[in-house]
């Protein structure tokens, strides 16, 4: 008789960017192979993992507070294992044990493949474990690079909010070293994954029923892989992934303004499965601030890039990030950021108050001299402007059809606990806009047209047109994907 291993229950909390969401998916996939099963509370779990982000102090403090909430649980159940993984684990290392002494495990994002082995060791009584990657100056470049490569091909569709969409990492790390940013330290050197690995993973995802692939990199459009005399760039990856049957949509985030080449834009224009959507953070509209941030472009470079996007793909939607209150930012600098946002008319913008990060150039070189209340005020002012513009841009879709990849029931429908197959459904348009309509659960995973009747800052509201058309609709140019007033 074979003895089945007892199931271990895993609870995982994920903060941060898409990279972390993908990392969590893969850690769960690998632990499932070891007999773990997901559970939705720390209380019911044997192993509790926090996948963490270090990009701002506030994010870290929130995570440490969440971890601290487990103190009593851990006291009454010392056999439960608490682990901290991700960027904060890499950045704080030993400090995690000092700030939260009951933590058993610290694992950086480049060492995630070691988690299951380390959990076994802890279970066997070996005590606390830590696995982190090398620092940017801790050895020769090859060793540093290798220490930041974690595993990728263990895909688990059940871990994704919808099995029809998946992230696919094409690049590790970052070498841009923007002066405010901790990511080049936590994620290590920029390195492209090999095209063969990327294509194999894309095919695997398509075989699992995935329809939309989002290629991930910190500066995804800087992707480059050199093998002998052969150089592969993002445009080449798009062309090959475009050929894979079953994949209907391809997106890529996040873009670096300086590397938004005309060749890449033309490729996106010419490949119907590529979304005309670019997240390409401006960060600031002041040349002086951009120079202190070491972003590597000026406002006029950024505007020239916008012009390139607009003239190549007139229907493209562009999204941005901004940091307000960066060191030395004056009222005039901030006004220039408002001006840039006004001119660019972003689909949406993420706005962050500058947060000093130890180990960065900005922390060493510039005082954090913009008072908190000024940062707060600028945050609100910029958000009001970018929201007003986003609302105007969304209203241009009213009266038009958009092609939607259906994700499933909307949050509202899940909250209402609708009974039966008729539900409020949600999906995204080709240009990444959120669309909701009254539909049917069975629509999940389909590409379908939706007629838009109303909109607000974040959402387009529509209905299924009376005359349906084919599922292969991605190849059709739909009216609302063009600038409506063009």
Q: How many residues at the interface with ligand F3S, by CB under 6 A?
A: 13
Query: Quick check: 323 binds ligand SAH (CB under 6 A)?
Result: yes
List, as own/partner pairs, every contact residues 66-71 make where C-beta atoms lie below 8 angstroms and the sequence separation is at least 24, other chains included: 66/13, 67/100, 67/103, 68/100, 70/42, 70/102, 71/102
Backbone angles phi, psi at 406, to 5 degrees: -75, 125
Query: Quick check: 254 binds ligand SAH (CB under 6 A)?
Result: yes
Query: Quick check: 181 binds ligand SF4 (CB under 6 A)?
Result: yes
Whether 276 and 315 have beta carbons less than 8 Å apart is answered as: yes
> How far apart are the C-alpha atoms of 388 and 411, rounded to whole Å?
24
Nearest approach in angstroms of CB 356 to ligand F3S is: 14
Binding-site string for ligand SAH from residue 205 to residue 224, where x marks contact by CB under 6 A and - marks none: -------------xx-----
Q: Which member of 39, 54, 179, 446 binds ligand F3S (CB under 6 A)?
A: 54
Query: Quick one: tokens of 272?
Result: 């119907």
Instruction: Tell the residue number behind the tokens 């009213």, with chain if given.
Output: 398
Pick the closer one to ligand SAH by CB: 172 or 354. Answer: 354
Q: Interacting stretch for ligand SF4, rule CB under 6 A, among 24-32, 41-49, 178-186, 404-412? A: 178-186
> How far apart are the C-alpha atoms of 89 and 50, rounded to whole Å?
9
> Strand pairing of 129-131 and 165-169?
unpaired
Pick the closer one to ligand SF4 by CB: 20 or 424. Answer: 20
Q: Interacting stretch for ligand SAH, rule CB under 6 A, among 352-360, 390-398, 419-427, 429-437? A: 352-360
DSSP string of 433-464, one letter each residue:
-EEEEEEEGGGTT-EEEEEEEEE-SSEEEEE-
Whether 422 and 438 have beta carbons less than 8 Å apart is answered as: yes
With residue 276 as reference, give the H or E element that holds it. Answer: none
DSSP string of 144-198, one letter each residue:
HHHHT--------GGGSS-TTEEEEE-EES-----TT--HHHHS-S-EEPPHHHH
Residue 19 interacts, among ligand SAH, ligand F3S, ligand SF4, none and using kind-specific CB cut-offs from 5 to 8 Å, with ligand F3S
Binding-site string for ligand SAH from residue 26 to residue 55, where x marks contact by CB under 6 A and - marks none: -----------------------------x
DSSP state of 34: T
Query: Quick check: 281 binds ligand SAH (CB under 6 A)?
Result: yes
Nearest approach in angstroms of CB 103 to ligand SAH is: 24
Nearest approach in angstroms of CB 91 to ligand F3S is: 8
Q: Which member of 275, 283, 400, 481 binds ligand SAH (CB under 6 A)?
A: 283
Number of H helices, E strands in the chain: 17, 21
Residue 54 interacts, among ligand SF4, ligand SAH, ligand F3S, none and using kind-specific CB cut-offs from 5 to 8 Å, with ligand F3S
Pick the closer one to ligand F3S by CB: 167 or 397. Answer: 167
Residues 367-396 within binding reach of ligand F3S (CB under 6 A): none
Residue 133's Cβ-side half-sphere holds a number of Cα atoms within 13 Å equal to 34
Residue 53 interacts, among ligand SAH, ligand SF4, ligand F3S, none and using kind-specific CB cut-offs from 5 to 8 Å, with ligand F3S
Binding-site string for ligand SF4 from residue 212 to residue 231, where x marks contact by CB under 6 A and - marks none: ------xx------------
Which of 202, 190, 209, 197 shows the shortest CA–CA distance to 238? 202
Q: Which member of 47, 111, 133, 186 binds ligand F3S (CB under 6 A)?
A: 186
Q: Interacting stretch for ligand F3S, rule CB under 6 A, among 74-82, 179-187, 201-209, 323-331? A: 179-187
Residue 87 interacts, among ligand SAH, ligand F3S, ligand SF4, none and using kind-specific CB cut-offs from 5 to 8 Å, with ligand F3S
Q: Interacting stretch for ligand SAH, rule CB under 6 A, among 40-48, 176-184, 194-202, 471-479? A: 176-184
> Strand pairing of 81-86 and 105-107?
parallel
Whether 404 and 447 have beta carbons less than 8 Å apart is answered as: yes
Q: Which residues contact 430 (CB under 8 A, 6 or more apart)?
A: 249, 275, 276, 277, 402, 403, 474, 478, 481
Nearest approach in angstroms of CB 377 to ligand SF4 is: 24
Rounded-to-5 percentages of helix, strand, coil across the chain: 40, 25, 40
Residues 14-53 within binding reach of ligand F3S (CB under 6 A): 16-17, 19-20, 53
Query: Quick check: 12 binds ligand F3S (CB under 6 A)?
Result: no
Query: Quick check: 357 binds ligand SAH (CB under 6 A)?
Result: yes
Chain positions contacting ligand SAH, by CB under 6 A: 55-56, 180-181, 183, 218-219, 254, 281, 283, 321, 323, 352, 354-355, 357
Query: Which residues make up the interface to ligand F3S (CB under 6 A)?
Result: 16-17, 19-20, 53-55, 86-87, 182-183, 186-187
User: Residue numbers of the site for ligand SF4 (CB under 6 A)?
Assistant: 174, 176-178, 181, 183-184, 218-219, 256
């Amino acid at each position: 008789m074979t003895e089945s291993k007892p199931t271990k229950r895993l609870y995982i909390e994920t903060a941060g960017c898409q990279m972390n969401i993908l990392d969590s998916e893969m850690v769960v996939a690998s632990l499932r192979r070891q007999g773990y099963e997901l559970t939705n509370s720390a209380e019911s779990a044997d192993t509790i993992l926090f996948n963490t982000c270090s990009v701002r102090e506030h994010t870290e403090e929130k995570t440490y507070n969440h971890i601290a909430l487990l103190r009593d649980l851990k006291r009454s159940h010392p056999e439960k294992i608490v682990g901290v993984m991700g960027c904060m684990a890499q950045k704080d290392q030993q400090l995690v044990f000092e700030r939260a002494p009951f933590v058993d495990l610290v694992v950086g994002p480049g060492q995630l493949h070691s988690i299951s082995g380390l959990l076994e060791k802890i279970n066997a009584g070996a005590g606390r474990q830590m696995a982190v990657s090398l620092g940017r100056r801790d050895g020769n470049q090859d060793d540093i690079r290798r220490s930041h490569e974690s595993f990728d091909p263990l895909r688990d569709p059940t871990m994704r909010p919808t099995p029809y969409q998946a992230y696919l990492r094409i690049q590790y790390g970052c070498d841009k070293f923007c002066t405010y940013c901790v990511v080049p330290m936590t994620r290590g050197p920029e390195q492209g994954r090999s095209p063969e690995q990327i294509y194999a993973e894309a095919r695997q995802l398509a075989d699992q029923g995935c329809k939309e692939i989002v290629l991930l990199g910190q500066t995804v459009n800087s992707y480059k892989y050199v093998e002998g005399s052969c150089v592969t760039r993002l445009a080449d990856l798009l062309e090959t992934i475009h050929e894979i049957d079953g994949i209907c949509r391809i997106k890529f985030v996040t873009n670096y303004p300086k590397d938004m080449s005309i060749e890449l834009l033309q490729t996106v224009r010419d490949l119907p499965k590529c979304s005309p959507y670019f997240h390409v953070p401006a960060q600031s509209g002041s040349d002086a601030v951009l120079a202190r941030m070491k972003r590597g472009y000026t406002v006029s470079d950024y505007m020239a890039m916008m012009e390139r996007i607009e003239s190549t793909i007139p229907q493209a939607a562009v999204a941005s990030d901004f940091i307000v209150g960066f060191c030395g930012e004056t009222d005039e600098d901030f006004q220039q950021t408002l001006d840039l946002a006004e001119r660019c008319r972003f689909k949406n913008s993420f706005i962050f108050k500058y947060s000093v990060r130890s180990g960065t150039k900005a922390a060493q070189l510039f005082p954090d001299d913009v008072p908190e209340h000024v940062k707060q005020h600028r945050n609100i002012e910029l958000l009001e402007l970018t929201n007003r513009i986003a609302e105007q841009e969304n209203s241009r879709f009213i009266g038009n059809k958009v092609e939607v990849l259906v994700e499933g029931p909307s949050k509202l429908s899940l909250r209402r606990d609708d009974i039966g197959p008729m539900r409020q459904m949600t999906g995204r348009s080709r240009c990444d806009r959120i669309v909701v309509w009254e539909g049917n659960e069975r629509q999940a995973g389909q590409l379908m047209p939706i007629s838009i009747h109303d909109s607000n800052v974040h959402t387009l509201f529509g209905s299924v047109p009376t005359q349906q058309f084919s599922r292969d609709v991605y190849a059709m140019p739909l009216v609302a994907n063009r600038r409506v007033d063009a």
